[in-house]
């Protein structure tokens, strides 16, 4: 729209805005006295319904989704806490097993910020016990095998770290010996 057209529209709308609708006189609005302020009593707080833990059951699928979302954000500690919440409160064995799988995976993944092979071993033992007790091994077979592979890899990595530590200590001892021999050859020679 051109500037002239906008001004024409504004000029046409101005009398209506100032004078009201067509045929209505342009008067200032009548001001009424405000009524005396009355104190308003606050309503009584609503009573909380009497509920029992059986009636208020967490939606564990939602909590598991929250754990997954936290994991994807890189908030591994929160994800672990969500899984622990499900494990502690869930009544269904499948929900408990899903939580244990999530916890074990977080403890075993190399990229995890809460990786801990000792804690993972404890979680894996608990997972094996629950799978056997509730005959769910066939249902979670693939996840269990992947966790075992991760656990074996973590064991190999731990052995390599220990071997590297020993080799580094031996190398440091040999370097110290070479330094001492050089010091003797300079002093004696």
What is the C-alpha to C-alpha distance for residues 165 and 64, in angstroms, rounded to an integer? 39
pLDDT category of residue 178 using cuts at 50, 70 and 90: very high
Residue 133 domain-assigned (yes or no): yes
Residue 135 gets the label, from left (phi > 0), alpha (psi -120 to 50) or beta, of left
Q: What is the pTM of this model?
A: 0.58
Q: Which pLDDT belongs to residue 41?
A: 47
Domain with 111 in it: 60-168
CA distances from 12 to 15, 17, 29 (A): 7, 9, 22
pLDDT digit string, tens, across residues 49-99 = 343 344 335 577 788 888 889 989 999 999 999 999 988 888 889 989 999
Number of domains observed in the structure of the chain = 1
In degrees and rounded to multiples of 5, residue 140 shows phi and psi of -115, 25
Residue 187 domain-assigned (yes or no): no
pLDDT category of residue 6 using cuts at 50, 70 and 90: very low
For residue 152, the Cα-to-chain-centroid distance in whole angstroms is 27
Residue 11 domain-assigned (yes or no): no
Residue 145 domain-assigned (yes or no): yes
Q: Of 125 and 10, which is predicted with more confidence? A: 125
What is the C-alpha to C-alpha distance for residues 59 and 89, in angstroms, rounded to an integer? 11
Q: Where are the alpha helices (DSSP H) in 109-140?
A: 117-133
DSSP-based three-state secondary structure for 172: helix
What is the C-alpha to C-alpha distance for residues 116 and 114, in angstroms, rounded to an integer? 6
Residue 24 domain-assigned (yes or no): no
Residue 49 domain-assigned (yes or no): no
Tokens of 126: 């608990």
Q: Angle, nearest 10°, between helix axes 60-73 and 76-89?
A: 160
């Amino acid at each position: 729209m051109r500037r002239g057209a906008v001004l024409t529209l504004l000029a046409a709308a101005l009398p209506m805005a100032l004078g009201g609708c067509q045929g209505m006189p342009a008067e200032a609005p009548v001001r009424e006295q405000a009524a005396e302020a009355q104190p308003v009593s606050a309503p009584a707080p609503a009573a909380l319904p009497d509920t029992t833990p059986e009636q208020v059951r967490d939606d564990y699928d939602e909590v598991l989704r929250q754990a997954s979302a936290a994991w994807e954000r890189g908030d591994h500690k929160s994800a672990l806490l969500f899984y622990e919440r499900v494990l502690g409160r869930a009544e269904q064995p499948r929900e408990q097993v899903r939580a244990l799988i999530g916890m074990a995976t977080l403890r075993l993944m190399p990229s995890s910020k809460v990786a801990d092979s000792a804690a993972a071993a404890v979680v894996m033992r608990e997972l094996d016990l629950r799978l056997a007790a509730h005959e769910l091994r066939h249902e979670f077979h693939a996840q269990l095998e992947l966790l075992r592979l991760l656990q074996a890899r973590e064991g190999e990595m731990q052995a390599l770290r220990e071997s590297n530590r020993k080799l580094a200590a031996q190398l440091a001892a040999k370097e110290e010996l070479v330094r001492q021999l050089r010091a003797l050859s300079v002093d004696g020679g």
